[in-house]
Amino acid sequence: MDTTVRTRFCMVKKYERNGGRQPGAAARTLSKPIHASRTQDQDIPTGEENPLSGRAIRRSSLFYYICIRDKPGIRMKRPSISIWFRTFCFAALFALSGTYECFAQFTIRRPAAETQEAPRVFDRLPSVQPHNAYFDPAAERARKLKLRRERNTIEFNASLETSLQQFEHWTGSGSNNFYALANIFFRHQYKKEKLSIDYRADATYGMNFIDDAFFKNKDEFKLNWQLGWEMHRNWSYSASINIRSQFSQGYKSRTEHILVSDFMSPGYFDIAAGFTYAKADSPFKVTLSPLGGNIVTVLNDMLPEDGRYGVPVGERVTGKLGYSADVFFDRSFGKKEWLRYRSDLYFFMPYTEIDNPTVRWENTLEIRITKFISTKLYGQLYYRKEDSTSLQYQYSFMIGLKYVFRNK
């Protein structure tokens, strides 16, 4: 800001002698910056009598003429410093108190953004990231629960089918019987970045009660565990283990109590390492394993060592190496998923016995009538030369209660 106003104070000493004016009188000009000026029209001497002739005298300037008269013949004494100081203060006070018009000039310039410099004191301060030390246990539990739901897919199915027939004093032929079949299916899928884990468990157990005698008609459990690591897009490296066996002892028939099976007798272990193709939101899952193995166990010592189930005489465990493939399909149809089809096809071929493959194909068709009532049609084809030279198959049609739980 430039506010500069100069007022010139001219103090002129003039001596009058004999009533006349002495030309060329000395003039003293004092300059002092102030912020105000007084406009006063006065008669200013011109020509030779004007000690300030030739100078630009602004109209807004204030001139004071202090004339000190002296007697003729008497020499004036030089005023003391105190007299000059008091005179100056009186003139300045009078000028400030009588000012009624002010002028000011302001010049504001904004420096360019690139030339602005931050205060240097902040340059020495370390940069500190804001930190919220408050911890909310409820928010943390909600975050972990959301993360678990994103990574885990869980499904649990439980069903029970029963039938009852009772005859009392019935003249026609008939036998009292009670039938019950229970099934449990569980599947857990875990996905985190490139790692994937798929675990399936399926168990079925059925009993018949005919004429006061219990007889097992269906007994089987299957465990499948697969580990995958993403390789490229929908392909991944995989390793899997599949276990199949039964829970309790089995006999040849209801009337012939000849032991033919027991827990892990036989027991089948299918081990494979290879590649898996699984597309997101696709019901298909295909696993090709150039390195595979099939292990069969007969652990019950009460079973005769006659080479059944492909286990050599005198031994309890046998195994083969070969190629394996598995195709799994699982899809629900309808807006409310009232129809579901699940299929699992397994194939194994030994390296040294190409003409002795193992094929197992399972199919399950479920129809949900209500929330807790469903109908299921199950069928299985199985071929293994060591067990039987003929193609084995079974099927069943069931209706009963069912409970389903899914987290997604």
Segment 162-215, tens digit of pLDDT: 888 887 777 777 778 888 999 999 999 998 888 999 999 999 999 888 877 788
Q: What percent of the chain has pLDDT over 90?
A: 34
Domain boundary among 32, 65, 97: 97
Does residue 56 share a domain with residue 157?
no
Residue 130: inside a domain: no
Chain mean pLDDT for the chain = 76
Q: What is the mean pLDDT of residues 226-250?
A: 92
Does residue 376 share a domain with residue 281?
yes
Does residue 89 share a domain with residue 215?
no
Residue 318: inside a domain: yes
Does residue 248 share a domain with residue 387?
yes
**Residue 244: φ, ψ to 5°:** -135, 135
* Whether the predicted pLDDT of 382 surpasses 70: yes
Residue 115: inside a domain: no
Domain that holds residue 73: 5-97
Residue 21: inside a domain: yes
Half-sphere exposure of 83 (CA within 13 A, CB side): 5
Predicted local confidence at residue 123, as pLDDT = 54
* Whether the predicted pLDDT of 36 surpasses 50: no
Does residue 157 share a domain with residue 91?
no
Domain boundary among 97, 112, 134: 97
Does residue 59 share a domain with residue 175?
no
Encoded tokens for 136: 């909310």
Cβ atoms of 322 and 349 closer than 8 Å = yes
Predicted local confidence at residue 102, as pLDDT = 53
Does residue 216 share a domain with residue 333?
yes
CATH of residue 346:
2.40.160
Residue 107: inside a domain: no
Q: How far is CA 364 from CA 2, 281, 346, 377, in A?
A: 96, 20, 15, 6
The per-residue b/e assignment along 208-236, b for 16 or more CB within 10 angstroms, e otherwise, is beeeeeeebebbbbbebebbbebeeeeeb
* Whether the predicted pLDDT of 42 surpasses 80: no
Does residue 190 share a domain with residue 79?
no
Does residue 166 share a domain with residue 59?
no
Residue 162: inside a domain: yes
SS3 at position 15: coil
Does residue 163 share a domain with residue 25?
no
Does residue 343 share a domain with residue 230?
yes
Residue 119: inside a domain: no
Does residue 273 share a domain with residue 186?
yes
Predicted local confidence at residue 340, as pLDDT = 93
337: left (phi over 0), alpha (psi -120 to 50) or beta: left
**Number of domains comprising the chain:** 2
* Whether the predicted pLDDT of 91 surpasses 60: yes
Residue 174: inside a domain: yes
Domain boundary among 60, 80, 97: 97
* Whether the predicted pLDDT of 249 surpasses 50: yes
